[in-house]
Amino acid sequence: MNTLPTRQKTALAWVFGILGSFLILAALVWAMHHYTQPAPLENRAAVRAKTLAELRAAEAEALATPAWIDKNKGIVRLPIQDAMNLVVRQWAADPGTLRTNLIERVEKATVAPPKAPEKPSPFE
């Protein structure tokens, strides 16, 4: 025998339906939160400090050691002190020659590449 009237059964069905919907929604929210979490970040300050130290070491090495910049054009990177001593020695020998030499080197290092050929017209 049924002990509950039809109206109470309907209300109980609605309560269970709504409660079930909320539980399903909560499970979906938990799953989305769990599966879409980004990977934990490392100690960002330590990573940045390490990168900055590597960058500064590379810069210091570039300032202190000679190297070829463009071997075809004859462009060399010199330490600042060596470059200054070289300019002072050449200036003492002949300032006019040094000036023309520097201008030639700048023009040689900054020469513009040749213009790309124009595409022929398809109607020619």
DSSP for 51-105, written as a single string: HHHHHHHHHHHHHHS-EEEETTTTEEE--HHHHHHHHHHHHHH-HHHHHHHHHHH
pLDDT confidence band for 1 (50 / 70 / 90): very low
pLDDT tens digits for range 82-101:
989 988 998 888 888 888 98
**CA nearest to 106, candidates 66, 70, 75, 68:** 75
| Cβ-proximal residues to 62 (8 Å cutoff; 6+ apart), any chain | 77
The pair of structure tokens assigned to 10 is: 């309907």
Domain ranges of the chain: 7-37, 65-111
Percent of the chain, pLDDT > 90? Answer: 37
Mean of pLDDT values over 30-57: 89
Instruction: Give pTM, 2 decimals.
Output: 0.44
